[in-house]
Amino acid sequence: MGDRDAVGVGLIGLGTIGTGVVRVLRKNAGVIAQRLGFPLRLVRIADLDTETDRGVDLSGIRFDSDSQALIDDPEVSIVIELIGGYGAARQLTMGAIERGKHVVTANKALLALHGKEIFDAAASAGVDVAFEASVGGGIPILRSLREGLSANRIEAIHGIINGTTNFVLSEMQETGEDFEVVLKRAQDLGYAEADPSFDVDGIDAAHKLTLLVAMAFGAELTFKDIPTEGIRSLLPVDFEAAEEFGYRIKLLAIAKVHGEGKSERIEARVHPTFVPATSLLAKVEGPMNAVAVHGDAVGPTLFYGAGAGELPTASAVVGDLMEVAREVRRGSAGRVAPLSYLPESLKRKPLVPLGDLEGRAYLCLSVRDEPGVLGHVASILGENGIGIESIFQRGSSRTGEAVPIIIFTHRTREARVRAALAEIDRLPDVTAPTRLVRVEEDF
Amino acid sequence: MGDRDAVGVGLIGLGTIGTGVVRVLRKNAGVIAQRLGFPLRLVRIADLDTETDRGVDLSGIRFDSDSQALIDDPEVSIVIELIGGYGAARQLTMGAIERGKHVVTANKALLALHGKEIFDAAASAGVDVAFEASVGGGIPILRSLREGLSANRIEAIHGIINGTTNFVLSEMQETGEDFEVVLKRAQDLGYAEADPSFDVDGIDAAHKLTLLVAMAFGAELTFKDIPTEGIRSLLPVDFEAAEEFGYRIKLLAIAKVHGEGKSERIEARVHPTFVPATSLLAKVEGPMNAVAVHGDAVGPTLFYGAGAGELPTASAVVGDLMEVAREVRRGSAGRVAPLSYLPESLKRKPLVPLGDLEGRAYLCLSVRDEPGVLGHVASILGENGIGIESIFQRGSSRTGEAVPIIIFTHRTREARVRAALAEIDRLPDVTAPTRLVRVEEDF
């Protein structure tokens, strides 16, 4: 089969993932052709840095810094956008779509913030936008939501979808070290960026959750409306308590649907969570990712794999490329709605306020070890209608020293817990704001 | 959108899964239409039993026992085959394909034995045959192999793909009861058939593995060539040993590729396996299924969910139906090769003989508690070049009584273990054939 039959591909951004894409296309060209029946031809690459040797064979590929010329190139049918960010990435993605090119991207930030504009433009132009790599790296979770589980009303999603935070949390659990120490190690190992805030503050996970919520529930959310807490405030004592009481701490992206039809509301949130140590999600260690999806017909499912990294992410990008190339060949672009629901079926749906959610909570109080403190705390919880499931205080050697009190509550509305904590944190013997970590068990 | 736009569907077989399909199509008609943009219309159903009330709304659907008329019906574009078995199912599937109908099936036995004939006929007729429900029930594992992971050279598969055996093994682990006792309970609970041999002897898992091997490696295997062992011979002492040494016993379907290109060979086998208790597969309990897939780019992945049951299986069937309906609408049938590799790329590839495989082994010997027995056993293992990693003998109260000796070997070729066991089992103080269970850890 000659090159005449090939589908032409252009790649913008030859960083880690871009290099991985070239590597996978080279290494697995044989198996890719055996599956597609026609070759993919990487026609050209654009990157501002044309000097650095990436250690990958670029022979036969035009390589320069002109991304505009790339999207204009008539030999390019599919544009892979891997530069990240909102500015140039948005302009190039929209430009490619306007020129009738299909787009494959790993850019969750772009899609979380400008997805509507991009998907609407793609629908008008009759081109595909594929983005499996944007959530869960190499895990085919978006395709599974969109196609494999398409017969289901999706009821809940619980995802470990940020590898950096999962690595940090796993290490904190294992070593008992402080957040800053472990973060430094993650940075040295390449699992965390120099500026880690996107990851450790939960923003990246919230971007991804925006996409998952759209695909699961047909709900358009504004990314900024998703309650998001990162992992910076967790202390070694929290991991000791998790171990002691049979939990692991995971940064979960959680989404559920409440009600049906017109009264449908969406629960969506990103925060550190106590999950039972016996659950599959608890076993997702280091930089790995997993997404638990509960569908009304299929019941509980879980999808596990590497959430980042050169080759795992390239696996998803090239998988998308193969799918889009098939659609190009068959003239069937737009066959599947990119967000699983047809654009006209995607609706803004109200978010359930955090305070209305019910669940168990882990509380870690810092109190001076004085007689009567525990009684005060228990009374305030009781007055707010909060049942205590278990309580644990390690006494200090000296009266008056600050010690932690660990409390697990029974199921209750979060607003009650917030009200109680506001009172508790005003007690004179409470020496620091109480830490609240939510407990999730139903996945 | 009127019924004129609907894609017509016929369902053959209104048993448990067929009823689930009707239920899902009714219950989720709204969400299905929001994803497809056009309705699916279940035009007619054929089942020999037209009397039993399945507790599902069949209004507006023609329901009789004439499956031949169903595949002839011009209103039916897609035929769902859910009668199982090889005879009538084969004739109806081939008949539907000859009439230009697309087929959705859950019939792994049919595809494992007559897949080539069926897929070749479908390719000639330009129709789709979809079969996600045939492996892993509701888990979108086949679609993930075929599309999500299509950029990978798949290197290994480790699957828990039979819910009956996984339920029995989980219960034996938990209760310490004998196989027959637990099997009876599984039958009472509906997790095992009256004749359980298809499941407990590993045949069902081997059928499914035949499909997985084709899709992962492009390898055509004859189902009968896959070495297959069931779970009947496992005893409570094996589960005690698993607990003691940090393992769980799972019936695994295992497939790996050895070598590349012309020297490529396939390893495929179904048998009870010791897996590390800390692994994700060890956590797959009861009737649940999971498939671990290792791809050269993506690395380790795992797909988990219900492997059987009315609604989980219907989730996969209706998901397939939606996909095929999209292809019908877009005229893109045949877009993706059903077995992931184009028919001309599927090749017979040699199997690696079991004896050539390397791994660790669990051995459970039954010996009379006489002085010197252990020495004999150890000598024979040593003479065969087999290293002992750990050994455990619980002494009996009376000399001469049969006691179990548990041995975990170091990595070694299976042929050596077989040779050693042939000698060991001839020792006068060995009172029963030694049980060998393979240990797998690399997933």
Q: Which chain A residue has its CA at the smallest distance from B29's CA?
A: A151
Q: Which amino acid is at B206?
A: A
Output the domain CATH number for residue B70. 3.40.50.720
pLDDT bin (cut points 50, 70, 90) of residue A442 is confident
Task: Tell whether A105 lies on the interface with B, counting CB pairs under 8 A.
Answer: no
Model confidence pLDDT, tens digit, residues A285-320: 999 999 999 999 999 999 999 999 999 999 999 999
What part of B 132-191 touches A (C-beta under 8 Å)? 132, 138-140, 143-144, 147-153
Output the domain CATH number for residue B177. 3.30.360.10
**Do B148 and B290 fall into the same domain?**
yes
The verdict on residue A239 lying in a domain is yes
| Residue B3 contacts residue B303 (beta carbons within 8 Å) | no
- The residue behind tokens 């499931």 is A389
The verdict on residue A136 lying in a domain is no
Task: Tell whether A289 lies on the interface with B, counting CB pairs under 8 A.
Answer: no
pLDDT recorded at residue B309: 94
| Residue B408 contacts residue B360 (beta carbons within 8 Å) | yes
Between the two ends of chain A, the Cα-to-Cα distance in Å is: 48
Of B297, B306, B323, the CB nearest to A298: B306
Residue of B208, B250, B256, B349 marked active site: B208
β-pair partners for B404: B366
Task: Tell whether A345 lies on the interface with B, counting CB pairs under 8 A.
Answer: yes
pLDDT recorded at residue B4: 64
What DSSP string runs through A380-440?
HHHHTT--EEEEEEPPPSSTT-EEEEEEEE-SEEHHHHHHHHHHHTTSTTEEEEEEEEEE-
**Do A280 and A363 fall into the same domain?**
no
Nearest to B303 by CA among B131, B154, B159, B134: B159
> Which residues touch A245 (CB under 8 Å, ≥6 apart)?
A274, A390, A406, A408
**Do B148 and B91 fall into the same domain?**
no
The verdict on residue B351 lying in a domain is no
Q: Is the pTM of this model over 0.95?
A: yes
- Among B289, B319, B345, residue at a domain's last position: B345
Task: Tell whether B260 lies on the interface with A, counting CB pairs under 8 A.
Answer: no
Q: What DSSP element (H or E) covers A11?
A: strand A7-12
Model confidence pLDDT, tens digit, residues A64-86: 999 999 999 999 999 999 999 88
Mean pLDDT of B266-288: 97
Whether residues B139 and A301 touch (CB distance < 8 A) is answered with yes
Task: Tell whether A37 lies on the interface with B, counting CB pairs under 8 A.
Answer: yes
Mean pLDDT of chain B: 95
Task: Tell whether B37 lies on the interface with A, counting CB pairs under 8 A.
Answer: yes
The ipTM is 0.97
Whether residues A34 and B218 touch (CB distance < 8 A) is answered with yes
Model confidence pLDDT, tens digit, residues B157-171: 999 999 999 999 999
B37 to chain A: which residues are within 8 Å by CB? 337, 342
**Do A238 and A198 fall into the same domain?**
yes
Whether residues A24 and B297 touch (CB distance < 8 A) is answered with yes
- Among A283, A306, A329, residue at a domain's last position: A306
Classify B73 as helix, strand or coil: coil
How many domains in chain A? Answer: 3
Model confidence pLDDT, tens digit, residues A144-186: 999 999 999 999 999 999 999 999 999 999 999 999 999 999 9
> Which residues touch A264 (CB under 8 Å, ≥6 apart)?
A217, A257, A258, A349
CA B61 → CA B44, B66, B67, B292, distances in Å? 5, 14, 14, 40
> What whole-number percentage of chain A has pLDDT above 90?
93
The verdict on residue A254 lying in a domain is yes
Rounded distance between C-alpha atoms, residue B274 and residue B359, angstroms: 11
Nearest to A340 by CA among A135, A39, A64, A52: A135
B34 to chain A: which residues are within 8 Å by CB? 218, 341-342, 345
B218 to chain A: which residues are within 8 Å by CB? 31, 34
Q: Which chain A residue has its CA at the smallest distance from B292's CA?
A: A304
Task: Tell whether A294 lies on the interface with B, counting CB pairs under 8 A.
Answer: no
Pairing state between β B299-306 and B288-295: antiparallel
Mean pLDDT of chain A: 95
**Do B371 and B337 fall into the same domain?**
no
Model confidence pLDDT, tens digit, residues B216-238: 999 999 889 999 999 999 999 99
Classify B296 as helix, strand or coil: coil
β-pair partners for B11: B45, B80
Q: Which chain A residue has its CA at the smallest distance from B37's CA?
A: A342
Mean pLDDT of B312-337: 97
Q: Which chain A residue has its CA at the smallest distance from B309's CA?
A: A298
The verdict on residue B136 lying in a domain is no
Tell me which of A267 and A1 has the higher pLDDT: A267
Rounded distance between C-alpha atoms, residue A156 and residue A145, angstroms: 12
pLDDT recorded at residue A401: 78
Residue B279, φ and ψ in degrees, nearest 5: -80, 160
Of B31, B218, B312, the CB nearest to A299: B312
CA A310 → CA A198, A306, A317, A343, distances in Å? 19, 10, 11, 32
Maximum pairwise Cα distance, chain B? 85
pLDDT recorded at residue A1: 39
**Do A145 and A272 fall into the same domain?**
yes
Predicted confidence (pLDDT) at residue B280 exceeds the cutoff of 80:
yes
- The residue behind tokens 């280091």 is A286
Quote the Cα angle for B286-B287-B290, to 5°.
100
Whether residues B280 and A278 touch (CB distance < 8 A) is answered with no
Active site residues of A: 208
Q: Which chain A residue has its CA at the smallest distance from B139's CA?
A: A301
**Do B152 and B296 fall into the same domain?**
yes
Domain range holding B227?
Answer: 141-306
**Do B160 and B269 fall into the same domain?**
yes
| Residue B332 contacts residue A330 (beta carbons within 8 Å) | yes
pLDDT recorded at residue B394: 75
Whether residues B319 and A278 touch (CB distance < 8 A) is answered with no
What DSSP string runs through A179-203?
HHHHHHHHHHHTSS-SS-HHHHTSH
Whether residues A332 and B337 touch (CB distance < 8 A) is answered with no
**Do B152 and B294 fall into the same domain?**
yes
**Do A199 and A276 fall into the same domain?**
yes
What part of B 76-95 touches A (C-beta under 8 Å)? none
pLDDT recorded at residue A158: 98
**Do B288 and B169 fall into the same domain?**
yes
The verdict on residue B46 lying in a domain is yes
A80 to chain B: which residues are within 8 Å by CB? none
> What whole-number percentage of chain B has pLDDT above 70?
98
**Do A333 and A379 fall into the same domain?**
no
Mean pLDDT of B414-441: 97
Q: How many CB atoms lie within 10 A of CB A383?
A: 12
B178-202: burial string, b at 16+ Cβ within 10 Å, e else: ebeebbeebeeeebbeeebebbbbb
**Best of A152, A313, A341, A443 to mutate (most B CBs within 10 Å, chain B):** A152
Q: How far is B164 from chain A (nearest CA, A)?
A: 17
Whether residues B297 and A148 touch (CB distance < 8 A) is answered with no
pLDDT bin (cut points 50, 70, 90) of residue B2 is very low
Classify B186 as helix, strand or coil: helix
- The residue behind tokens 């109080």 is A365
Q: Which chain A residue has its CA at the smallest distance from B342's CA?
A: A35
Q: How far is B3 from chain A (nearest CA, A)?
A: 19
Of A297, A330, A345, the CB nearest to B24: A297
- The residue behind tokens 């395709």 is A143
A149 to chain B: which residues are within 8 Å by CB? 138, 140, 315, 319
Q: How far is A143 from chain B (nearest CA, A)?
A: 7
Whether residues B151 and A32 touch (CB distance < 8 A) is answered with yes
Q: How far is B21 from chain A (nearest CA, A)?
A: 10
Output the domain CATH number for residue A402. 3.30.70.260
| Residue B129 contacts residue B214 (beta carbons within 8 Å) | no
pLDDT recorded at residue B5: 79
Residue B190, φ and ψ in degrees, nearest 5: 85, 10
pLDDT bin (cut points 50, 70, 90) of residue A2 is very low
Predicted confidence (pLDDT) at residue B1 exceeds the cutoff of 60:
no
The verdict on residue B350 lying in a domain is no
Quote the Cα angle for A233-A237-A241, to 5°.
115
Whether residues A151 and B319 touch (CB distance < 8 A) is answered with yes
Task: Tell whether B126 lies on the interface with A, counting CB pairs under 8 A.
Answer: no
Of A301, A306, A316, the CB nearest to B304: A301
Mean pLDDT of B415-420: 98
The verdict on residue A135 lying in a domain is no
Mean pLDDT of A17-38: 97
Predicted confidence (pLDDT) at residue B300 exceeds the cutoff of 60:
yes
Rounded distance between C-alpha atoms, residue B370 and residue A104, angstroms: 70
Q: How far is A293 from chain B (nearest CA, A)?
A: 9
